[in-house]
Structure 1
């Protein structure tokens, strides 16, 4: 909008259409006519929501993820993958080590140690095959 030379009034009116959830609630609670320019609106928005910024974590944070005794391999993989999304510059080999470290003792862990996988793709492929066999046996 800045590049097109759109006036502040229009930018201020268009801004709330992009908001959802808590940001929309924050905007609706602003005192009417309390903001004069889009720059003021931007500054207030940034100062209010700067604390909610998600900072990237290191691979060390994944060391706390474990496959619990009463949980399936599928649920462990889901939690692990969700956490890896917040990791900054995750090294593939390190991810394999951390993932393997969090597995509970059993046939799948033994198979990983037996044929050392090099990438997370390989681990997840083998895990999928293992889970499909488990599902077939349960059915």
Structure 2
């Protein structure tokens, strides 16, 4: 298009027809009339997708994380926290509910229901106390 000296307006209109998947989603979320030239559009596109940027998941993805019978609380927390990093705008109350829902039945889950923590920080603090107590008993 540059070789044919096509106008910016036409290049901007033709650009979205070449997009698929995440790139199309990114383009559809741009504020209308926020870009004046094709050069601006291409610069925003490159800066957004440079480095293999991935879209964030929803909190619904966390519902699949469960503490397996053969896995420790520590490994469940590690896996859960890793997934939370890929979530877009995670609400603390939802995180607490999903985390608690994924725990296997046992003393720690009972203690969470008994104390009813309101934030993930409280849950993780309680988990740390519980794991430290378990480690001390094993030692």
Under a length normalisation based on structure 2, what TM-score does the superposition of the two structures give? 0.64
CA distance in 2, matches of 1:124, 1:137: 20
- Mind listing any 5+ residue stretches in structure 2 that lack a counterpart? 1-38
- The match for 2:23 is none
- The match for 1:108 is 108
- The match for 1:77 is 77
User: What are the superposed Cα offsets for residues 82-122 of structure 1, whole Å, 9 maximum, x if unpaired?
Assistant: 11001000000000000000000000000011111000000
- In the alignment, is residue 59 of structure 1 matched against residue 78 of structure 2? no
Aligned pair count reads 96
Under a length normalisation based on structure 1, what TM-score does the superposition of the two structures give? 0.64
- The match for 2:33 is none
SS of 1:100 mapped into structure 2: helix
Once the two structures are TM-superposed, the CA of residue 67 in structure 1 deviates from its matched residue by 0.5
**Higher mean C-alpha displacement, 123-132 vs 53-62:** 53-62
SS of 1:54 mapped into structure 2: coil
SS of 1:86 mapped into structure 2: coil
Measured on the aligned residues, the alpha-carbon RMSD in Å equals 2.2
CA distance in 2, matches of 1:64, 1:50: 30
CA distance in 2, matches of 1:107, 1:87: 29
Once the two structures are TM-superposed, the CA of residue 51 in structure 1 deviates from its matched residue by 10
CA distance in 1, matches of 2:117, 2:67: 19
CA distance in 2, matches of 1:126, 1:93: 16
CA distance in 1, matches of 2:131, 2:89: 28
